[in-house]
């Protein structure tokens, strides 16, 4: 069973737990502004990496790991100074490639919030090779610091020497860098338009097949995910998984999905439809609506 937020909060140092209860909005969905971070530092006496390491149990409490039962929490600090929590997500009974790693969750959280680069990733276990490769796609990856409990901090390329990345495939842009695709479709459906907006912001420099997913819940909340491609191909993060990870961070049950829309190029080299449909069928009876843009 996943650790509850309150149980995780009770593992924090008392001063920090009191400050979180007093200063952060509830329910907490995993975003701290730079001002929030400073306030928690002042209240707890923990500074910089010490604070984020202490907050890792809260990040791990967002985990949904029915297969591994191993809860991974990650915290990404954006160039703005804001921090973004993430956790691993697994779909019960489904192939493991549907999983979202904790680092991917935190990175996508920051990207969806408008960050264009990260300073550091704090995680409660050493990043796997998949995540190291995913992080190597980031804007500013050469300066990204990895922070782990009980270890010296190191740059990403300490953990991924002789890395293979975008430039090896002739790509000069990088994940989270300002970019956009011109995609057109005629619709007045607000959920379709939400997915279109995200698809235009997706990152697909290898397949040239931008895409995004928008999920509408029974209370009107909308959660989105953009495609995040990778030079090594397999570590790419599909848009459906990104949207589901966003729901998990808000602790919104997947049974509350009432509509699911995928927007992608009609003539793209690849399609996300079968992968998105497979992931959706694992957690909801709702049928995927595929809308093609030009």
* Predicted confidence (pLDDT) at residue 155 exceeds the cutoff of 60: yes
pLDDT band at residue 25 under the 50/70/90 scheme: confident
Cα–Cα distance, 287 to 260 (Å, whole number): 7
Label residues 46-66 b or e (16+ Cβ within 10 Å = b).
beebebbbbbbbbbbbbbbbe
Q: Which of 103, 120, 137, 216 is catalytic?
A: 103
pLDDT band at residue 2 under the 50/70/90 scheme: low
Sequence spans of domains, the chain: 5-16+24-169, 190-293
Q: Does the domain formed by 190-293 have CATH 3.40.140.10?
A: yes
Put residue 166 in one of left, alpha, beta given phi > 0 → left and psi -120 to 50 → alpha: alpha
pLDDT band at residue 94 under the 50/70/90 scheme: confident
103 annotated active-site: yes
Average pLDDT over residues 218-228: 98
- Is pTM beyond 0.95 here? yes
In the chain, what percentage of residues exceed pLDDT 70?
Answer: 99
Query: Which of 24-38, 194-208, 240-254 is predicted with the least confidence, judged by mean pLDDT?
Result: 24-38
Contacts of 103 (CB under 8 A, 6+ apart): 72, 74, 76, 86, 121, 123, 127, 131, 134, 135
5-16+24-169, CATH topology level: Cytidine Deaminase; domain 2 (3.40.140)
Q: Give pLDDT tens digits for 37-55.
A: 999 999 999 999 999 999 9
DSSP 8-state symbol, 90: -
């Amino acid at each position: 069973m996943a650790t509850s937020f309150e149980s995780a909060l009770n593992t924090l140092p008392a001063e920090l737990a009191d400050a979180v209860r007093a200063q952060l909005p509830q329910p907490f969905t995993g975003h701290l502004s730079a001002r929030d971070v400073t306030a928690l530092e002042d209240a707890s006496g923990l500074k910089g990496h010490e604070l984020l390491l202490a907050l890792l149990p809260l990040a791990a409490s967002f985990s949904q790991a029915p297969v591994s039962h191993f809860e991974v929490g990650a915290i990404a600090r954006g160039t703005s100074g804001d921090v973004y929590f993430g956790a691993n997500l697994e779909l019960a009974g489904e192939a493991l490639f549907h999983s979202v790693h904790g680092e991917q969750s935190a990175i996508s959280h920051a990207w969806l919030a408008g960050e264009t680069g990260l300073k550091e990733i704090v995680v409660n276990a050493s990043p796997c090779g998949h995540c190291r490769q995913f992080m190597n796609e980031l804007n500013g990856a050469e300066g990204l610091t990895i922070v782990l409990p009980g270890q010296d901090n190191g740059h990403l390329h300490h953990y991924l020497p002789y890395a293979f990345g975008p430039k090896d495939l002739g790509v000069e842009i990088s994940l989270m860098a300002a970019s956009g695709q011109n995609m057109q479709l005629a619709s007045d459906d607000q959920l379709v338009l939400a997915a279109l907006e995200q698809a235009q912001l997706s990152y697909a420099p290898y397949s040239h097949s931008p895409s995004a997913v928008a999920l509408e819940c029974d209370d009107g909340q909308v959660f989105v995910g953009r495609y995040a491609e990778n030079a090594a191909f397999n570590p790419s993060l599909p848009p459906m998984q990104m949207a589901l990870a966003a729901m998990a961070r808000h602790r919104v049950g997947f049974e509350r999905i009432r509509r699911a829309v995928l927007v992608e190029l009609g003539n793209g080299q690849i399609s996300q439809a079968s992968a998105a449909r497979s992931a959706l069928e694992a957690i909801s009876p709702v049928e995927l609506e595929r809308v093609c843009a030009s």
